[in-house]
Amino acid sequence: MIAESKKRPALPLKPGVLPLIIGINDFLNEHGVQGYIVGGFIRDTILGRDTADIDIAISADALKVTPELATTLGCKHVPLDEANRVSRVIVKGAARDKAQWQIDFSTITDSIEHDLKQRDFTIDAMAVRLDSITEGITDTGLVDPFKGLADIRHRVIRAVSDDVFQSDALRLLRGVRLAAELGFSIDRHTEALVRQHCRLIASVAGERVREELLKLLAIPKTGHLILYLDDLELIAVLVPELAQARGVDQPREHQWDVFNHSIKAVDAVDFVLRHESWEYADKGILDCVPWSAELERHFNSKVSSGSSRRLLLKLAALLHDIAKPQTKTIDDQGRTRFFGHAREGAKTTVDILERLRFSTREIKLVAGIVRHHLRPVQICQDELPSRRAIYRYFRDTGEAAIDALFFSLADHLATRGSNLNITNWRQHAALIEHVLTQHDKQESITAPPKIISGYDIMNTFNLAPGHKIGELLEAVREAQASADITTRDEALSYVKNLLIGEKSGSRDGKQA
């Protein structure tokens, strides 16, 4: 560690960063400015973790100094915070438009010790003078007023002061996320502070909470992390609708109440998507579940800034039964029902995600999964679904189609838990594979080639433009996807029968 040697750098820097730091220090020295590396870069260097972000505090106005610095280094300059005088320099990597280093410069208003006192946790409240770095980071030049180095050694997250969360309530989530990412624990006094100030998280801008929430969802064993957030009383403030599900009993096939089932479903998603283990899974349980490189790309694909389909599917898992508390009924036979919970849950999901400032596309995808999370098993009764049923499924679920299929498997696991019936599981997996196979084999299921147009229908049957033309075209596409028709003449004949059937009271063109 740092204190073990003063003759050589105990902590060598990542290749490429040392010349950059020396160049920055030379520039600052020429302008009579003292600079310090602060925060996470020191922590991650000590822990041997890769990072592309560097924070530097300087004894001058960062917004005035960094434009010239960026020009000297041939980098891009971005002003970040005018009120607090913070700016960013982006050093491009070899790949075009890809940042190799992102350096944030902050302005020291008093002293470096005073600056560190304003930070959140001791492990991030350390600084190293730039002019002390010649080959790497040593104890010479290390400023550590809150014993952050000792806390790193003891793997502890500890607040710098009792008012850190009042200064910035997002730190309530950041502390939990840091502990999970680093494999640290939060000390008891800091935990008590989190519980004391948990309600402050409601005052944080939704955009900032969204960003931290996505980082939390990316951490392995997310279910345990959510339970920890609940223990710290943060879930009830962040998503009060979810907290209402605690203790809501379900039918006997469910091993957990609604709240714990929802959390188990989050981890089950990662299992089904081949990211984590499942504590109730027998060896080989995934052998019957379809998977491919294409599906992996699908779930890893970016949806919006910081989000992927996999992360949003985990978010949908957390929220999929959000409306069960208010839709719960018990029938005359004593059976518990949740009629309409998927539809109502989608509405509630939209409200929650809008509150947290998720993008329109993110909201549409997550709400779509929640709205249709029962559809995969509903399209199959006693036999595999027909081509027509599969067409309707993809038509109705849209962008959420494949995601909802795999969520239904996760939902199955999170329902049964240790009571999983392997025969039923294999049947469910076979259903998903059948739907995917049909979809892959016949792209025409979701986008059949156009064999007639609205003009054809209007001209042939002397109909006026309107929504009726769209309904007839959709009926043709559905019949086409089901292989009932393949040619233009068959399509026109089909439309003719539909119109005749409507006049005679029949709604099926083949019955007319």
Reply yes or no on whether the pLDDT at 461 is more than 50.
yes
pLDDT at 507 over 80: no
The owner of tokens 């993008």 is 359
pLDDT for position 511: 38
| CA neighbours closer than 13 Å in the CB half-sphere of residue 162 | 3
Tell how strand 142-143 and strand 127-129 pair up.
Answer: antiparallel
Checking DSSP bridges between strand 99-107 and strand 53-58, what pairing results, if any? parallel
Q: How many CA atoms lie within 13 A of 213 on its CB side?
A: 23
The token pair that represents 437 in the structure block? 């196979």
CATH placement of domain 246-445: 1.10.3210
Predicted confidence band of residue 476 (pLDDT cuts 50, 70, 90): confident
Q: How far apart are CA 153 and CA 127, in angstroms?
A: 17
- The tokens for 230 are 């609940």
Q: In this structure, what DSSP letter does residue 511 have?
A: T
Q: Quick check: 86 and 104 in contact, CB under 8 A?
A: yes
Q: What angle do CA 263, 265, 271 make, to 5 degrees?
A: 120
Among 156, 214, 159, which Cα is nearest to 183's?
A: 156
pLDDT in tens, 106-160: 999 889 999 999 999 999 999 998 888 866 666 667 899 999 999 999 999 999 9
Stretch 239-262: mean pLDDT, rounded?
Answer: 95
Q: Which of 204, 195, 114, 208 is nearest to 167 (CA)?
A: 204
User: For residue 313, which amino acid is it?
Assistant: L
Q: What is the 3-state secondary structure (H, E, C) of 332-397?
A: CCCCEECCCHHHHHHHHHHHHHHHCCCCHHHHHHHHHHHHCCCHHHHCCCCCCCCHHHHHHHHHHH
First to last CA, the chain: 84
Provide CATH 1.10.110.30 ranges for the chain. 155-238
Q: In a 10 Å sphere around its CB, with 0-12 CB exposed, 13-18 middle and 19+ buried, how is residue 147 labelled?
A: middle
pLDDT at 5 over 50: no
Look at residue 20 and tell me whether its pLDDT is greater than 80.
Answer: yes
Mean pLDDT is lowest, of 305-314, 317-326, 492-501, for 492-501
As a whole number, mean pLDDT of residues 8-23 equals 72
Residues of the chain with CATH 1.10.3210: 246-445
For CATH 3.30.460.10, the residue range(s) in the chain are: 2-149
Q: Which of 91, 125, 118, 88 is nearest to 105 (CA)?
A: 88
Contact indicator for 433, 290 with CB cutoff of 8 Å: yes
Element (H, E) at 136: strand 136-137
pLDDT at 3: 44
CA distance 34 to 361: 45
Given this model, what pLDDT does residue 90 score? Answer: 87
Q: Residue 45 is inside which H or E element, if any?
A: helix 40-47
The answer as to CATH 3.60.15.10 being correct for domain 155-238 is: no
Average pLDDT across the chain, whole number: 88
Instruction: Specify the 3-state DSSP secondary structure of 78.
Output: strand
Give the lowest-confidence range in 3-17, 202-216, 393-407: 3-17
- What's the rounded Cα separation, in Å, for the pair 510 and 457? 18
447 has a pLDDT exceeding 60: no
The residue behind tokens 């080959």 is 135
The pTM assigned to this predicted structure is 0.83
Q: Which two tokens stand for residue 161?
A: 């002061």
Task: Write out 280-341 in H/E/C secondary structure.
Answer: CCCCCCCCCCCCCHHHHHHHHCEEECCEEHHHHHHHHHHHCCCCHHHHCEECCCCCEECCCH
CB contact set of 160 (below 8 Å; sequence gap of 6+) = 116, 117, 119, 120, 121, 122, 125, 146
Give the max Cα distance, the chain: 97
Specify the DSSP element, H or E, that contains 37.
Answer: strand 35-38
Is the domain spanning 2-149 CATH 3.30.460.10? The answer is yes
CA distances to 210, 356, 460 from 352, in Å: 11, 6, 49
The answer, yes or no, to whether residue 233 has pLDDT greater than 90, is yes
Unique residue bearing structure tokens 């208003």 = 109
